[in-house]
């Protein structure tokens, strides 16, 4: 059976391009798994659900290696885990990595695939490091110019939709003298965020 895994880094990013690829391949909706999570690790709900049902002979399709992770060692460990399960892997933007073509082939073909995989996994991590370095440099420069405002606050009095509901729930709970720790667990929000709101309303 064919499965398509999609990952975007946050809820704000759009998975449309990867979805279009899945639809072009006529992958059934039930076989498309989408995570809107960071690539820092594999603690993602849809990824965990998908890997729990993958069986020998199944095919996992991704648009590029970075959808698995942006960490070289994690990519390598994930690749090995999938291959040990007997799962074939298709990377759409790098056909030479597609393992299915090597199932009946020994020697040079698999060797080339392994070499390219090592190179690409290294490139994915280097790109992640480059992005983080550029972000830090940009923040540092913005701070120097006095224009850096940091990450926008998500939960506040003028928020809308679900963010406003969460903010109101925090306020109500704080007024009820629920502990910060208990509130953090209950709402799934960091204690730092709750303390910040608490300080803003002087509770």
- Domains of the chain: which residue ranges? 2-125, 146-203
Q: Which residue has the higher pLDDT, 81 or 145?
A: 81
The tens digit of pLDDT for each residue in 160-186 reads 776 777 787 888 777 777 788 887 777
Q: Which residue matches tokens 């925090």?
A: 170
Q: Is 69 a catalytic residue?
A: no
Prediction pTM value: 0.56
CA 68-69-74 angle, 5° bins: 105
Q: Which residue matches tokens 């399960």?
A: 85
The CATH number assigned to the domain with range 2-125 reads: 3.40.50.1390
User: Which has the minimum average pLDDT: 15-19, 62-66, 106-110, 152-156?
Assistant: 106-110
Neighbours of 120 (CB within 10 A): 20
CA 38-154-9 angle, 5° bins: 15
Neighbours of 72 (CB within 10 A): 18
Say which DSSP state 104 is in.
Answer: T
Topology adopted by domain 146-203: Arc Repressor Mutant, subunit A (1.10.10)
| Residues 35/45, Cβ–Cβ less than 8 Å | yes
pLDDT band at 139 (very low <50, low <70, confident <90, very high): low
Name the burial class of residue 111, with classes exposed (0-12), middle (13-18) and buried (19+) by CB atoms within 10 angstroms of its CB: exposed
Q: Which helix (H) or strand (E) holds 163?
A: helix 161-175
């Amino acid at each position: 059976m064919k499965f398509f895994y999609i990952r975007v880094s946050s809820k704000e990013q759009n998975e449309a391009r990867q979805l279009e690829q899945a639809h072009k391949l006529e992958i059934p909706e039930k076989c498309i798994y989408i995570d809107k999570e960071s690539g820092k690790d594999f603690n993602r709900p849809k990824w965990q659900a998908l890997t729990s049902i993958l069986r020998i002979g199944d095919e996992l399709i991704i648009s590029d290696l970075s959808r698995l992770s942006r960490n070289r060692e994690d990519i390598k460990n994930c690749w090995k885990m999938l291959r040990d399960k007997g799962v074939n892997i298709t990377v759409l933007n790098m056909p030479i990595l597609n393992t299915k073509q090597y199932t009946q082939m020994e020697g040079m073909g698999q060797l080339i695939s392994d070499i390219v995989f090592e190179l690409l996994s290294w490139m994915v991590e280097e790109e992640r490091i480059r992005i983080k370095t550029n972000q830090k440099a940009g923040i540092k420069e913005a701070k120097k110019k006095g224009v850096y405002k940091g990450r926008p606050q998500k939960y506040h009095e003028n928020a809308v939709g679900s963010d406003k509901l969460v903010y109101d729930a925090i306020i109500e709970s704080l007024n009820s003298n629920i502990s910060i720790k208990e509130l953090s667990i209950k709402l799934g929000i960091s204690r730092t965020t709750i303390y910040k709101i608490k300080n803003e309303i002087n509770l």
